[in-house]
Structure 1
Amino acid sequence: MARHLPAVEWTRRDDLAELVAALGAGQLRWVGGAVRDTLLGLPVADIDAATPLLPAVVMARLKKAGIRCIPTGIDHGTVTALLAGGPVEITTLRQDVATDGRHAVVAFAEDWQADAARRDFTINALYAEPGTLLIHDYFGGFDDLAAGRVRFIGDAARRIREDHLRILRYYRFQCRFGAALDSHAEAACVELAPLLEKLSAERVAMELLNLLGLPDPVATVSRMADNGVLNVILPETGAAELTCLASLVANESREGVAADSIRRLAALLPACAGTARKVARRLRLSKRQQDRLACAAGRGGDSGTPPRELAYRLGLICAQDRLLLAGGPLASLQGWNGPTLPVSGKDVLARGIAPGPQVARILKQVEASWIAEDFPGNCRAEELLDQILAKE
């Protein structure tokens, strides 16, 4: 039975029609996430296309049609067309020549099914013709999508040996789209989990953070732990940390806070800034991510500290992370911007105190009283300064 993609808004874009016309009839099909998510009624963020045309031919035809493009991954056949409605990646049909679990050597092909066969899951190997929106499904992806089944194309173990990252991709897609578990996929992931150690830290971090950024990854992450998969990439995580993640996700929902992968990664680590920083370096996170992860994970001594004081001392983002990790409410921080102490060293000197260490000591006392009174305005800060000076 012929199946068609719904004619949703993105399929009717004029700039996409111009792209199709530039490459020629029958030379392009939409593929992957855009097709999958449209069938599920989900928003489509990125549009990918496949073509039997060689990259040089694609670029030449786009240039002739006045469509800007850049060779974003031309060695692997990918050209990005820069369209008014957003970029579209166009990749020449490929087939694997050799794989080592981390990298693949590919050859360009002209066979749509051969291209589909090298993709990871059946639900990612759905192609749609631009004009008719006819779906080409070579491996039962349409039915798997309807059933909520994440299934490898071909033998799961073989596909994982071709690219070890597919273990983590399986869990991410299972978390996002899966309803029932695929026993063959699960067994292969468990058996081959040690292969994850061979991957670059950047690739592991990317998939882990993508998984943690999904609405509710708790059940999937717990299953990864039970299966011995999580321990390979995050040996610091134990039962207490899994409980912390579950609590955090519930707290985020209660407070109406969006999911955040770094905050959730902090939940999976012991409450120790030093440990978090080591993990962040191991995963090659950015400096900003490292700092945030370490600050969030250093949550152990916050009990009893007022939220606004926490935000003043640590910054608003870190304070929110720590409060959510501890299960505390965020109401007192809504719309609050950390103020600056209204008095300075100049005010102390103006009152006759000689320059030196005494100035800093007095300011620290004023600041402590000012924080204890929940950050009053200028007049009260001046009074606090005078009160402290009167005791000197």
Structure 2
Amino acid sequence: MTADVNHMLGRADWLNTPGIQAVFSALELEGDQARVVGGAVRNTLLGHPVPDIDIATTARPETVMQRALDAGLKPVGTGIDHGTVTVISRGVPYEVTTLRQDVETFGRQAKVVFGRDWVRDAERRDFTLNALYSDRRGHLFDPLGGLADCLARRVRFIGDPDSRIREDYLRILRFFRIYAAYGEGDIDAAGRDACLRQRDGLRHLSGERIGHEMRRLLRAPLAAAALRMMNDSGLWEIATGGLARIEDYCALRGLAPFAPDVSDPELGLVVLGGFVREDLERICDRLRLSNAERNRMRTAWAAMKFLRQSADPTAPPPDARDMIYEFGRQGAVDGLLAHWAFRKAQGTPPPEDDWRELLERVRQAPLPAFPVKGADLIAAGHAPGPALGELLQKLETEWRASKFTLSKVDLVLRAGSSG
């Protein structure tokens, strides 16, 4: 097995670039070693994309900075006090961190010292499948037996789960997020139970850190299964401050074969927690979401509410162009998917073929543009002022009622007859 793994790593595209090999050459001087660690190794073995690359080294941070400069690379001391230097080579950033070991443990403020012991460095990481290393030729170093767990897609804490969690309570969310992204089969019982025992620690985390982790979890393939476990154990309520409509969310993820939007965190949060508008705002505040994320969620919630209040199970689907005009294209898509999931969870799903066709029309239909402006009515003899605005609103309502068929000429003529 090891020979096969080495062969796979050795052929990885990211390991055979001049950029990363230049970083290795810069670091591996005077007896120092460097190895890629964590996600890049794990993702390669599991056939996932490799978005970024972390490198561990025995060289001290100040040495990393100097050697990178000497090699013509660009070092940035992003976390130099904690041993991390970002080295930019051929335009690609690599996070290079000196081997560390904990001396005293008190959460994220744990006192660490730099060292040269690869096993001690591995022991301070979170999960066994993340404690895998590769040298520049693709030779695997597996000090804690993480390879078997990785290939089995089994997420296990390193050492005592409670101790690992107390070092950083965000690892509770990471446990479920890594399972949702890479896991298979039943979740590790020892890890799950430790998360439940330590769950009050989530209350001490910042909203930014929770929000960052929850976004990544919601994008993962097994998000529905992971969130169901979190909801059943009270973790969701602690993390977000509210309850979850977990059945709606599971139904939403069931629409994935023809709607990739279901893995978007904004839509997921609306479906999970948007019982009322106040719930939506609470989640936005708790997770410190950006204005763009908040606006998308608010529009999605409004579209979902519109469909939920106006929909008769026996009525035909809404007009696609009217939905687009009212909520924008993405808002209309989000609202349709959220309402569709709600109906499925309630046991009254709309006709699938009709709603798939409606969803496609919403994605492709041109955005209607109201053809009349105030200047058009003034040119036709109407006086400027509040009455002109009221007339424009009246004409827009008639235009929408006509399913956007009335032309500019039609509308101006109607304005004339009603003026």
Smaller-chain TM-score bracket = over 0.9
Query: CA separation in 2, counterparts of 1:294 and 1:95?
Result: 45
CA contact (8 A) 2:127 2:155 kept: yes
1:227 alignment partner, one of 233, 238, 248:
233
Residue 80 of structure 1 aligns to which amino acid in structure 2? T
Does residue 17 (structure 1) correspond to residue 21 (structure 2)? The answer is yes
Give the structure 1 partner of residue 325 of structure 2.
Answer: 312
Residues 42, 132 of structure 2: 8 Å contact kept: yes
Tell me which residue corresponds to 1:34: 40
Per the TM alignment, residue 85 of structure 1 is displaced from its structure 2 partner at its CA by 5.7
Q: What is the Cα deviation at residue 181 of structure 1?
A: 2.1
Q: Does 1:181 align with 2:165?
A: no
1:319 Cα shift?
1.8
**CA distance, structure 2, for counterparts of residue 37 and residue 74 of structure 1:** 26
Aligned residue runs from structure 1 range 176-325, under 5 A: 176-179=181-184, 180-238=186-244, 241-257=245-261, 259-298=263-302, 299-302=304-307, 303-304=310-311, 305-325=318-338
Deviation string 1:343-378 (CA, Å, 9 cap, x unpaired) is: 11111111212222211111111111222233347x
Query: Larger % of helix: which?
Result: 2
Partner of 2:159: 154
Cα displacement string for residues 67-114 of structure 1 (whole angstroms, at most 9, x for unaligned residues):
112111111111111122621111111112333334333221111111
CA contact (8 A) 2:333 2:363 kept: no
Please tell me the residue identity of whatever aligns with 2:412.
Answer: L
Aligned-residue offset at 1:235: 4.0
How many Å separate the matches in 2 of 1:99 and 1:283?
27
Q: Following TM superposition, by how much is the alpha carbon of 1:337 offset from its aligned partner in structure 2, in angstroms? A: 4.4
User: Shift of the alpha carbon at 1:36?
Assistant: 0.7
CA distance in 1, matches of 2:219, 2:178: 12
Matched, 1:352 2:370: no
**Superposition pairs of residues 15-94 of structure 1, within 5 angstroms:** 15-24=19-28, 26-84=32-90, 86-94=92-100
CA distance in 1, matches of 2:67, 2:143: 29
Which whole-Å CA distance do the structure 1 matches of 2:20 and 2:206 have between them?
36
Kindly state the Cα deviation for residue 64 of structure 1 after the two structures are TM-superposed: 0.7
Look up the equivalent residue of 1:342 and give its one-letter code.
P
2:77 and 2:85 in contact (8 A); partners too: yes
TM-score for both structures, normalised by structure 2: 0.87
CA distance in 2, matches of 1:375, 1:98: 69
Unpaired stretches in structure 2, ≥5 consecutive residues: 312-317, 341-354
| 8 Å Cα contact 1:152-1:185 kept in structure 2 | yes
RMSD: 1.9
What are structure 1's unaligned runs of at least 5 residues?
A: none
Whether the 8 Å CA contact 2:320–2:365 is kept in 1: the answer is no
Query: Which AA in structure 2 matches 1:321?
Result: D
**Distance across 2 between alignment mates of 1:47 and 1:125:** 14
SS at match of 1:354: coil
